[in-house]
């Protein structure tokens, strides 16, 4: 056994609607950590926002259900998926230790949107993934669309507005949507992921209901024109020298998959690599890297596209902390590109350390 030289704080759970996905992602990451180099310190953020510190791990747990901690006087792991693991209640700042790197496996608001990243910056700890700006902009569909436009990336037509504007004049915004966009329409909360709060609308009545539903998840929403297209995705890895994976495609039997179909019923299949002409795959990879740089991405992201039958390409969105479940596109894309999950996790940790070292060097110069 080689000497342990660093601790990984695996931060997971969170208060977003993607809480349960985070547990599955964290469990999958846990399987691929090199435990001869690292000790893993799980820290669970409950749906109520409490931080619970689990017992340190020198090897992976057998089931993701074991990661759901309840508060108690002494941390311990359940014997199996049906038991109840116990964690000790801590203050968020208690995670700060020397020779420690944080892997924030948090999806959605209060995790992937720059809030945790800002907290870790204040603590002065290295962490995996995008920084504050890229996380916040990537999470916000309105802002990311504006940045994509500035970067010259093609997008489907859309209309964006907020709850105040909707409350003042819903008919005006209905008219704007129906006057500028063609059905079917897809209505999305501006700051949400994993298809949470997203609806497809084919009539005026469905559009109105879809807007009301989306506003339950966020005060700002986006209404996009639907197109007949394949959904393709690219994984990006790196800091300033980022590179793109092969292109993957979602094989769909329906034109829209909601949260349950993606994560509960798991009916979405992936075609990796996507059966596309080389020139089209190359262009998608180029667009993915351009989007990544437009947001000043770090570490990792998954960039999603629409590709029509005539091979027109439209960027959809960027995910700065994509799902890491066993059936998530991001790790599967890198596996197909020749980078297994074990080496991928190690690369992400090293990228985080390099990013932290660079920031520390800039701070020294400015003093």
pLDDT at 274 > cutoff 50: yes
What pLDDT is recorded for position 336?
98
Query: How do residues 105-145 score in pLDDT, each as one tens digit?
Result: 999 888 899 999 999 999 999 999 999 999 999 999 999 99
What pLDDT is recorded for position 55?
97
Binding-site residues for Mg(2+) sit at 304, 317, 319
Cα 209 to Cα 7, 146, 171, 190, 342: the distances in Å are 48, 26, 13, 17, 44
* Overall pTM surpassing 0.85 (yes/no): yes
Cis peptide before 184 (omega within 30 of 0): yes
Q: What DSSP designation does 260 have?
A: I
Bridge partners of residue 100, in order along the sequence = 7
- The order of strands in the sheet holding 6-13 is 69-71, 85-90, 51-53, 38-45, 6-13, 100-105
For residue 18 the two structure tokens come to 């993607």
Do 125 and 131 meet the contact criterion of CB atoms below 8 Å apart? no
Classify residue 265 by burial, with Cβ atoms within 10 Å: 0-12, 13-18, 19+: exposed
Of 252 and 242, the one with more pLDDT:
242
pLDDT at 212 > cutoff 90: yes
All domains of the chain, ordered by start, with CATH? 6-127 (3.40.50.20), 157-225 (3.30.1490.20), 228-357 (3.30.470.20)
362 — pLDDT class (breaks 50, 70, 90): confident
- Placement of tokens 């292109």 in the chain: 247
Binding-site residues for ATP sit at 141, 186-188, 194-195, 224-231, 316-317
What pLDDT is recorded for position 268?
76
Residues with a catalytic annotation lie at 18, 194, 328
- Phi first, then psi, for residue 202 (nearest 5°) are -120, -5
Q: How many residues does the chain have?
A: 367
Quote the crossing angle between the two packed helices 329-337 and 341-366, to the nearest 10°.
100
Strands 269-271 and 243-251: antiparallel
pLDDT at 290 > cutoff 90: yes
331 — pLDDT class (breaks 50, 70, 90): very high
Rg (CA), the chain: 21
pLDDT at 366 > cutoff 80: no
């Amino acid at each position: 056994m080689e000497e342990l030289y660093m601790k990984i704080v695996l931060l997971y759970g969170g208060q977003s609607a993607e809480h349960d996905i985070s547990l599955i992602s964290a469990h999958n990451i846990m399987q691929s950590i090199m435990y001869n180099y690292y000790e893993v310190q799980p820290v669970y953020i409950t749906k109520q926002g409490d931080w619970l510190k689990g017992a340190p791990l020198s090897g992976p747990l057998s089931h993701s259900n074991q990661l759901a901690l309840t508060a108690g006087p002494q941390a311990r792991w359940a014997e199996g998926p049906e038991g109840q693991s116990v964690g000790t209640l801590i203050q968020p700042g208690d995670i700060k230790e020397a020779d420690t790197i944080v892997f924030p496996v948090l999806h959605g608001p209060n995790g992937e949107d720059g809030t945790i990243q800002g907290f870790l910056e204040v603590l002065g700890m290295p962490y995996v993934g995008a920084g504050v700006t890229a996380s916040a902009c990537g999470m916000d569909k309105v802002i990311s669309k504006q940045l994509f436009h500035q970067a010259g990336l093609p997008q489907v037509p859309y209309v964006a507005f907020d709850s105040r504007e909707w409350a003042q004049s819903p008919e005006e915004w209905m008219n704007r949507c129906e006057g500028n966009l063609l059905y079917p329409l897809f209505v999305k909360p501006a700051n949400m992921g994993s298809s949470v709060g997203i609806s497809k609308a084919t009539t005026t009545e469905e559009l109105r209901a879809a807007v009301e539903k989306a506003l339950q998840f966020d005060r700002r929403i986006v209404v996009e024109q639907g197109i007949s297209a394949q959904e393709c995705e690219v994984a990006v890895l790196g800091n300033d020298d980022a590179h793109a994976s092969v292109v993957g495609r979602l094989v769909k039997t329906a034109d829209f998959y909601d949260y349950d179909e993606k994560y509960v019923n798991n009916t979405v299949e992936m075609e990796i690599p996507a059966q596309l002409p080389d020139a089209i795959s190359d262009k998608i990879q180029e667009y993915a890297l351009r989007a990544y740089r437009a947001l000043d991405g770090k570490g990792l992201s998954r960039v999603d596209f629409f590709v029509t039958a005539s091979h027109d390409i439209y960027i959809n969105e960027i995910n700065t902390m994509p799902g890491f479940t066993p059936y998530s596109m991001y790790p599967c894309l890198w596996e197909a590109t020749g980078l297994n999950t074990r080496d991928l996790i190690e690369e992400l940790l090293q990228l985080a350390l390099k990013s932290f070292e660079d920031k520390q060097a800039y701070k020294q110069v400015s003093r």
